[in-house]
Structure formats: C-alpha cells, structure tokens
Amino acid sequence: MDAFYASVATRDRPELRDVPVIVGGGYRGVILSANYHARAYGVRSGMPSTRARRLCPDAVRVPADHELFGTVSRAVVENFRRVTPQVEVVSLDEAFLDVRGSTRRLGTPIEIAEHLRAVIHDEQGITCSVGVAASISVAKLASRRAKPDGVVVVPPQEITSFLHPLDVGELYGVGEKTQAVLHRLGLVTVGDVAHTPLRTLQRAVGEGLGRMLHDLAWGRDTRAVTPGRVSVFGYGGDPDKSMGAQETFGRDIDDREVILREVLTLSAKVAERMRVAGVAGRTVSLTVRFADFTTLTRARTIPEATDVTQEIYRAAVRLYDALGLQRARLRLVGVRVEGLVPRSSVHRQGVLGERDRGWSEADRAVDRATRRFGRAAVQPASLLDRAAGRDEASSTGPPGARSERSTGEAPLPVGTKSSEHS
C-alpha cells in the first residue's frame, strides 16, 4: 500500500490531499507515517516528531486511528483472497500473493495486479503498488520501484539486469551495519556481491548470511508464499509472538498516578488487540524511558496465559513498583505481552471462592459496547479524568480531579453513554 496510514487517515479529508501530512507522533513521540508530500522534505516513519517538525514545519499532524487502519487492511486482504488463497500477510500494509493458480481464471499476473489496484482504489479510496516477479525477494524490490501507484514486472530472463545495478542495501537481510561492511569492501551494488566469490563474502558477513546474499544477488530465492503467517488483526493463522503499545509523554513525568493511568490505558489497548486476534500470553513486560533516554525493560511471567486487561495491568504495576523509581522523571512508558498462544488452547483453572463472572466477562462486555457506541462509551473509572491527567503530561496546566489512592487494581468499568447501556 502507498503511504498506507497517511492515505487512510486523509482519504476523507480532501483539503489535505496536496499538503504535507504526518500521522501520529504527538509532541515528542515517533511518527507512524507521512504522505509523499512530507517525505519530499525527508520525513520518514519512525522518525522523532521533533525532527519531523524541523524538516517540515508546515506539515499537518493527524492522529493515528488504529481501529480504522485494521478495518481497511482487513478489507484489502479480503480482496486479495478473492484472487487466490495463497496470501501471506507481512504487515498491515503489505502482502505477497502467489497467483500461479489464478491466471487461467483471471488473466496474466499484470492483469491481476491492475484488477486488484482498481478494486482497492474504488472500494477504499487508496492506492497500492505491485511488483510482479517469479520470487518473493524480487517481487518486493519491484514493488518498491513501482511506488507510488504503479506496477513493475520483472520477467525471469531480466532478473539479473534488474538486480545488479541496485545498491546492496536493497537486498533482503542487509541492514545499515551489513551495508557499511560491504561498502568498505568495495561491494556497492548487488552486481558486485553477485560477482564476489562465495567464500570471500562469507568471511566478511558470516557463512549463512553470505550464502543468502549471494543467492539473492543472482535472483535465487526458494521461499514460498506462506498463508496465515501474520495474525495481529484477525487474519487467521499462527499468532505473533508478542503484542505491545507505548506512549511518549508530552513532558517528562514523575507522578506515579499519572504514569499508572497511562499503564492502564496501554494494558487495555494491548488486551483488546489480543482478544481481537484470539490470543493470550503469560509474560508481561514493562518498558520505561527516562529523561536522559536511558531505557529499562522488565518482564514478569504470570501463572496462566491471559487476555484480561486487569491481570495485565496488575503485573505491569508490580514491575513498575519493583523498579523503585520514586520521583524519577519518565519520558516514555510501554506495556507488552509476550509468548502468545491461541486463546482456545488456554484452560483457566478456577479458584475457590472466585466469582463465576469476573474481569474476563467485563472486558468482553466492554468490547461489545465499544464496537457499538465507540471507544469513549465504556472505560475504567480511574480514566474518566484521564484527559486532565494527559493535559498535565503534555504541559498545559494543573491536573484535574484525582483518585484518592492508586493501587494495582483499576475500578470497574463505568458506562458513559447512557444509563440503559451502562
């Protein structure tokens, strides 16, 4: 997909079509995406928002709507699956399709590509770029060359002429450090790697990586499209190994209550994503980043795998308190659940005296309410004044009403739509 997050965030706002747009980031966070107008100024995803603003001070920032991104992504993937069941979803905005079994019914691969691009544009109002090739790695490189909003076809007999002029950094598995090593050896292009003896390459970057790069430089890639590899937003298949969320405060915070409100919000966000994906996990990790950018991560394994907000939050609070931060000023906090397994495989052991219905049922009731009435419909009572707390975190004035205590347990959810839906 072309600048997927930015395209989705602005598709219903025509006034932003021809201006630089940055998605997410807040005042001091990391931006999620930027449209092509902002990229022309050097803005890139993953860049600190302060740097993005310096590069492009006129950019319009829009909030990230992850629920909307997931909805659009699922719709796009369904279009792929109408063409072929052989779909490997790599991320929310990228997938590989094996269309060898679809050509008799739908035409040549380029006709299938153009059909998909037209359908996605008509239904979702966004564009995508397609690379057509005989292997995953070459198709990926071709899709980059097709951006934005195009198709590039690399026939088998033209693979080497397509690959060899490219910088070695384009090859799969070559990061900044490996690229620097190869450049120091005078290996600047993919063609240079292809014509370097295998043993020389392996001595430089290691046996396994050296062989892989040598094969890829000649277009040899035996990997097959693997349906169901990604399952973060309910596509099906094997689950990801972990899910997490983090938040950068508008200014450094040392108030435990404000910090734990954010931990609760992040715990709820992660737990909701897990329930959507049908997974649960036993290991909860907490990440904190201090004002000097020092970052600590601590993990705790709980007795049973869970997707319950309250259980994840309690584990995260224990991790926070165990750090003994007292008045240390934090720049960022994050919550992650690791070691995910399918929820259907988890059989929770009942506890003597425990209620028949508890936090798990409450979470699912909240999910139903928010799907019907929106995210603001139901939330923990301690977050009803979260806006005031976040204002404090972002430097605009005094905090609002506060709880009298801050413990490892959040109050029961409270409906805010109307009494009949509470």
Binding-site residue ranges: 93
Closest CA to 247 of 274, 225, 265, 227: 265
Instruction: Decide the pairing of beta strands 130-132 and 151-153.
Output: parallel
How far is it, in rounded angstroms, from Cα 416 to Cα 411?
14
How far is it, in rounded angstroms, from Cα 393 to Cα 411?
22
Task: Point out the annotated binding site for Mg(2+).
Answer: 93
Closest CA to 36 of 150, 139, 179, 131: 150
The one catalytic residue in 67, 94, 257, 338 is: 94
How far is it, in rounded angstroms, from Cα 109 to Cα 153?
9
DSSP 77-108: HHHHHHH-S-EEEEETTEEEE--TTTHHHH-S
CB atoms within 10 A of CB 237: 13
Q: Where are the beta strands (DSSP E) in 229-310?
A: 242-253, 279-290, 295-306
Q: Residue type for 301, please? A: T
CB 32 within 8 A of CB 25: yes
Is 170 tagged catalytic? no
Residue 388 neighbours by CB under 8 Å, 6+ apart: 399, 400, 401
How many angstroms separate the Cα of 41 from the Cα of each of 1, 27, 52? 21, 19, 9
Residues paired with residue 357 on neighbouring β-strands, in sequence order: none
CA 177 from centroid of its chain's CA atoms = 24
CA 421 from centroid of its chain's CA atoms = 32
DSSP 14: G
DSSP 128-191: --EEE-SSHHHHHHHHHHH-SS-EEE--GGGHHHHHTTSBGGGSTT--HHHHHHHHHTT--BHH
How far is it, in rounded angstroms, from Cα 131 to Cα 370?
39
Q: Which residues are catalytic?
A: 94
